[in-house]
Structure 1
Amino acid sequence: MKPIENLNHIFNTLLWGTFIFLTLLHTSCEDFTEIDSPNNQLIGIQVFEDASTVDAAFAHIYSQLRDVAFTSGNTSGLSYLMGHFTDELTLYSNSQPDVQNYSNNTLISSDGKANTLWSSGYNLIYASNRILEGVTHSSALSQADKDRFLGEAYFVRAFIHFNLMNLFGAIPYITSTDYQINKNVSRLDTEVIYQSLIADLQLAKTLLPETDTSYNKLRPNFWVAAALLAKVYLYHEDWQLAHTEATDVISNGGYVLSTDLSQVFLKTSTATLWQLGEGTAGTNTLDAFTFIFASGPPPNSALSSYLIADFEDGDSRFTNWTGVISEEENTWYYPYKYKLNSPTGNTEECTILFRLAELYLIAAEAYAHDENISEALNYLNPIRTRALLDPITTSDLDVLLNAIYQERRIELFTEQGHRFFDLKRTGRTFTELAPIKPHWEPSDTLLPIPESELLLNTNLNPQNDGY
């Protein structure tokens, strides 16, 4: 695999660059990155002899998640790409042919965006494995620091593999930095991947602290690992385990579901489990910069008419989380969850990767599949009443599940590819997208494995169907 071949050198170089960069930061949103510059360049195992340099390694990972990888709020991130791949966004620009391929369902095996998703993901998996190996063999770190770092690295490794699996299907699950091993890896059946994900997350939970008051929710803790584990169990259809993990976070994690929708996406939100910090003081999210526009027609994209039509009358999320531009006879809407698309005195919004509402919906869906309708409603209806909608009062399981899917569509729109993943895992991609997407086929639930990777490592064959 190309991303892994030279990463030992790249990782150490990036660490040094990260140290220099971090000394220039003075931001409360990334307190954990305020690290003294080392006296001389650190390479190899020396990086793992001091907690501050390991923290710098994690800071690099999170900056890449914010700026480059699939979690980025830019036009290469899942929120934007998969919004076009499904039915959340309409593309108006003629200057983004690569995004047009997602919008028009014309992806090819050499797609550059898919290659970036793959390569950036595996680069960060390599970085997390490097931390795991270095911290494990460190003789200088305290046991408390080692536990925290190991738990965090196991979580990051699982988080990235989980998203790559849902994008590409069968993938390698990389647990080593040894190039001789990694250059010939094969794709694994998704069942094997699920077991690896569960093992990593269960281990992360035993190592991570439950609180992170020093880090402003910028570092995954015990509850974030539990939230991802709940999501993994949901996708794997382990219903009882999914609602057990989700309700534990809801009941014991100390997070509070905000009733004021204008507060949900602020950096200080009580419902945020994990968010990505800003690059420099006063910078807000790439999401807002990407989605918000001030005049029509939209310079790039707008919310699709399909999504707008799916909002129920009176849903306060429509007025709080969508912006509108009207000119003459035309009206366009854009995602307005993040509202600050320019710098402010202090950073007020950070890209959120896990928030409490998703755990409510995971619990509701898992209980529904477990045929516990009353408990499912207990977790679905707080999301609806917070949006000023009437509670659901049904005893029909199919009606309830459809209501939960609808609630996920509206609550989580243009966030981290939720719509695509939900349609895919519930078997609804063809029925929902074929009527509105040209040439949509059942095989279009997977992105192409980058052609360049197949040429470098033939063990990654065969290519996904349809490419």
Structure 2
Amino acid sequence: MTSTYKTIRGIIHTIHRSSLFVLMMGLFLGSCEEFVDIAPPTNELTGSVVFEEAATVDAAFAHIHSQLREDVFTTGTVSGLSYLMGHYTDELTLYSNVLPEVQEFANGRLTPPNGSVERLWDGAYELIYATNSILEGVQNSTELAQEDVHRFLGEAYFLRAFLHFHLMELFGPVPFIDSTNFDINSKVGRMDLEPLSILILEDLRLAKEFLAQVEAADNYRPNYWTVTAFLARFYLYREEWSNALTEVLEVEKDGPFGLEEDLLQVFKKDSPETLWQLDSGIPGNNTKEGSTFVFSEGPPPNSALNNDFINRFEAGDGRLQAWVGQVVGDSETWYYANKYKLNAPSPSTEECSILFRLSELYLIGAEAYARLGQDAEALAYLNRVRQRALLTPISGLSGTALLDAIYKERAVELFSEQGHRFFDLKRTARADAILGAIKPEWEPFAINLPIPQSDLLLNPNLAPQNEGY
């Protein structure tokens, strides 16, 4: 590896990890060498080198999806949002004394050198770089069929938007990376939220346009419906209620999905309400979440659900029995997230990590209708989720009371899933009131995570550090 590649470290920490040419060789040869240790080729990657066949592009996407499952913020391990942000909010209690980085999340006071924060940042940008490599290679290809070009571009634009969106929601203003140019990326600065949001939206619109031209296959890869669902979430976060509702209604009316009425089947890989899930990687493997959250003896080896969280469930809520497990000790009972029940391989894969579910869209629809003053329609969506949970329908609510009921329903429906609780508290400006009351070290500035110290040192253009750090 040349000295140039050794020294270009800016925004994408050790960005050379995403050389797709070497990645393809590693995949095809079955190498067990860590991808992060592979140097890039001396010549610039071009479409003609990597993208002569659709199978090669599919293999590149397979790597990205394996990283989503194993390493970056969507993973179900202790490095992912489901675990870390569960501690940063009020979902989880930490029992382990050997996870100091997680302890900072539990305390509500993060420091810039925190390795878990660094992995959230670096992992996302490494996949953004890989996605840009695919975009450039596909756009330069003269060999790929037009349908494959549409499929690949749609998926790549979606992934780039999905990754940038989460970085923005975690850190605030962040760089938007849209090329593989090392010199530019090593010196890039952060972008304000409004222009950043516009670029993310443009990627989502392009993704939807391209994917509308191809038939959706399985739900292990993002497709037209995945993009539509994510647009609903994106518009909800931007408080564009009518636009969010438009996307929800499209999925509901035209999509091939339905609410799974059996609570015990919601997180099975064949659930009809799943829009996007991550393949298990190896037949018989199940989710990382099962290994992370499920335990059989007390006290918990790592973490357990917060007892105050358990008290949020209404009497008779079927989710408490179906989605929460418990371990009874001599003098104490501990609870754990039991949405994914298998923490070991099975004869065939039964559970995969779900990133988008139809019930979230129903709750987005409920909130959008409530914000638009259409209370009856809001209650109809809310009650679909409640009735599936064996709860009686709510009636007669409006205004703040209706929104509070929707927020409560989101908390018990989406717990331990991809940081929804944190993002909800942040976007609705309730974090300080709720987290400040339970975390002595919480300060208002903590709503944005710190920019990793290592990346600030390597690229001064990322300065200034987020407020308070």
| Aligned counterpart, 2:57 | 54
Amino acid at match of 2:109: T
- Residue pairs, 1:55-74, within 5 angstroms: 55-74=58-77
Q: In the alignment, which residue of structure 2 is the partner of 1:146?
A: 149
For residues 206 and 212 of structure 2, the distance between their equivalents in structure 1, rounded to whole angstroms, comes to 12
Aligned residue number for residue 319 of structure 2: 317
Aligned residues: 448
**Letter paired with 2:125:** Y
In the TM superposition, residue 43 of structure 1 has moved relative to its aligned partner by: 6.4
2:175 corresponds to 1:172: yes
Q: In the alignment, what sits opposite 1:13? A: 22
- Aligned partners of 1:7 and 1:126 also within 8 Å: no
- Once the two structures are TM-superposed, the CA of residue 213 in structure 1 deviates from its matched residue by 6.3
Q: Structure 1 residues 22, 145: CA separation in 2 closer, same or farther (over 3 Å shift)?
A: farther
Tell me which amino acid in the other structure corresponds to 2:263: L
**Equivalent-residue separation in structure 1 for 2:320 and 2:51 (angstroms):** 48
SS class of match (1:310): coil
* Percent of aligned pairs sharing the same letter: 53
Q: Is the 8 A contact 1:284 1:349 kept in 2?
A: yes
SS class of match (1:323): strand
Structure 1 consecutive aligned stretches of length 4 or more whose deviation exceeds 4 Å = 209-214
Separation (CA, whole Å) in 1 of partners of 2:45 and 2:245: 44
Task: Give the letter for the 1:123 counterpart.
Answer: E
Tell me which residue corresponds to 1:330: 332
Give the superposition deviation at 1:289: 0.3
SS of the residue 1:324 aligns to: strand
Provide Cα deviations, 1:181-227, integer angstroms capped at 9, x if missing partner.
Answer: 2112111111111111111111111111588664x310111010011
Change in CA separation of 1:384 and 1:21 when aligned onto 2, cut-off 3 Å: farther
Q: What residue is the counterpart of 2:357 in the other structure?
A: 355
Unaligned runs of 5+ in 1: 24-41
Q: State how far apart, in whole Å, the 2-side matches of 1:4 and 1:145 are.
A: 31
d(CA) in 1 for partners of 2:232, 2:202? 13
Partner residue of 2:281? 279
**2:310 — aligned with what?**
308
Secondary structure (helix, strand or coil) at the match of 2:367 reads: helix
CA contact (8 A) 2:283 2:348 kept: yes
Pairwise CA distance, 1:6: 4.3
- CA contact 1:4–1:126 (8 Å) conserved in 2: no
Is 2:299 aligned against 1:297?
yes
TM-score (norm 2): 0.93
Code of the residue aligned with 2:22 in structure 1: it is T
Q: Secondary structure at the match of 2:19?
A: helix
2:24 corresponds to which letter in structure 1?
A: L
Give the letter aligned to residue 142 of structure 1.
A
Q: Distance in 1 between matches of 2:259 and 2:31?
A: 33
Shift of 1:392: 1.3
1:79 aligned residue (71, 82, 101): 82
The 5-angstrom pairing of residues 217-236 of structure 1 reads 217-236=219-238
1:10-56 deviation digits (Å, cap 9, x = unpaired): 33322322233499xxxxxxxxxxxxxxxxxx964321110000000
1:34 aligned residue: none
Shift of residue 5 of structure 1?
5.9
Q: Find out whether 1:199 has 2:202 as its counterpart.
A: yes
**Are 1:90 and 2:99 matched, yes or no?**
no
Q: What is the CA deviation profile of residues 247-302 of structure 1, one whole-angstrom value per residue up to 9, with x for unaligned ones?
A: 11112111010110011000000000000011211000000000000110101100
| 3-state secondary structure, aligned to 2:12 | helix
Q: Which structure 2 segments of 5+ residues have no match?
A: 1-9, 33-43
Match of 2:464 in 1: 462
